[in-house]
Amino acid sequence: ETGVTQSPTHLIKTRGQQVTLRCSSQSGHNTVSWYQQALGQGPQFIFQYYREEENGRGNFPPRFSGLQFPNYSSELNVNALELDDSALYLCASNTLEGKMNTEAFFGQGTRLTVV
Amino acid sequence: RKEVEQDPGPFNVPEGATVAFNCTYSNSASQSFFWYRQDCRKEPKLLMSVYSSGNEDGRFTAQLNRASQYISLLIRDSKLSDSATYLCVVNMRNSGYALNFGKGTSLLVTP
- Amino acid residing at A91: C
pLDDT-wise least confident of A106-110, B48-52, B78-82, B97-101: B97-101
Supply the pLDDT for residue B95: 57
Check whether B62 has a pLDDT greater than 60. Answer: yes
pLDDT confidence bin for A99, thresholds 50/70/90: low
Give the model confidence (pLDDT) of B74-103 as tens digits: 999 999 999 999 999 998 755 566 889 999
- Computed on alpha carbons and rounded to an integer, the radius of gyration of chain B in Å comes to 13
Using CB atoms, which residue from A31, A104, A108 is nearest to B99?
Answer: A104
A to B CB pairs, distance under 8 Å: 58
Using CB atoms, which residue from A40, A103, A107 is nearest to B43?
Answer: A107
Chain B residues inside the 8 Å CB shell of A110: none
CA–CA gap between residue A16 and residue B50 (Å, rounded): 42
Give the model confidence (pLDDT) of A8-62 as tens digits: 999 999 999 999 999 999 888 888 999 999 999 999 999 999 889 998 899 999 9
Chain A residues inside the 8 Å CB shell of B32: 101
- Mutation site for B-interface testing, chosen from A37, A68, A110 by largest number of B Cβ within 10 Å: A37
Q: Which residues of B fall below an 8 Å CB-CB distance to A? A: 4, 32, 42-46, 87, 91, 95-104
How is residue A104 annotated by DSSP?
P
Chain A residues inside the 8 Å CB shell of B98: 33, 45, 48, 56, 58
Contact yes or no for A106 and B43 at CB 8 A: yes
Supply the pLDDT for residue A101: 65
How is residue A102 annotated by DSSP?
P
Check whether A1 has a pLDDT greater than 80. Answer: no
Whether residue A42 contacts residue B87, with contact meaning beta carbons closer than 8 Å, is answered with yes
Helix/strand/coil for A56 = strand
Alpha-carbon distance B15 to nearest alpha carbon in chain A (angstroms) = 25
Chain A residues inside the 8 Å CB shell of B99: 33, 35, 43, 45, 92, 104
Q: Give the dihedral of Cα atoms A52, B99, A41, B20; nearest 10 deg.
A: -150
CA–CA gap between residue B43 and residue A102 (Å, rounded): 18
- Mutation site for A-interface testing, chosen from B5, B25, B43 by largest number of A Cβ within 10 Å: B43
Supply the pLDDT for residue B79: 98
Check whether B54 has a pLDDT greater than 60. Answer: yes
For B87, residues 6+ apart whose C-beta sits below 8 A from its C-beta are A42, A43, B6, B35, B36, B37, B38, B44, B101, B102, B104, B105
- Amino acid residing at A53: E
Q: B95 — phi, psi (to 5°)?
A: -115, 25
- Amino acid residing at A112: L
CA–CA gap between residue A109 and residue A39 (Å, rounded): 13
